[in-house]
Amino acid sequence: MNPVSTPKDNTVQAAGCVLWRRSPSTGEPELCLVHRPKYDDWSWPKGKLKRGEAALDGALREVAEETGCRAEPGPELSTLRYAAGGRPKQVRYWAAEAVSCAFSPTDEVDRIVWLTPDAARDRLTQPHDRPLVDELLAVLHLPRTAR
């Protein structure tokens, strides 16, 4: 059995977070995006699950590894399904508030940015990632921002 697939199919199982914090200057929400130099893209912190790892545990592990942030998980958000590298991929997401952060660049993630919801939506490379912005705002009981 492939460690990142379910026994019944070859779907890659992954998890991540829509990581947010209150802006130190305005108190408004800011969302964290990661830059992956291998793909030259901007995305949510996420990654493949390890064998036997619970999805939420994997999501928080990936946040810590990619952003250096410890996060407090909130509600589960949508699960995204798409093809990656010729295989189906399923990514479960949670809202997560950053509690503390100490980012260090790696080969996998060389930069992170904290952006307003509108700026995050615009910066995300993959269109399928963008609806999670409004979903996060809804679970935080904040109005949707301009599109």
pLDDT digits (tens, 9 = 90+) for 37-73: 999 999 999 999 999 999 999 999 999 999 999 999 9
Closest CA to 98 of 124, 47, 129, 60: 60
Q: What percent of the chain has pLDDT over 70?
A: 91
Threshold 0.85, pTM exceeds: yes
Give the β-pairing of 41-43 and 46-48.
unpaired
Q: Identify the segments of the chain with pLDDT beneath 50.
A: 1-3, 5-7, 146-147
The rounded distance, in Å, linking the Cα atoms of 26 and 30 is 10
Which domains are present in the chain?
A: 12-139 (3.90.79.10)
Q: What is the pLDDT of residue 5?
A: 46
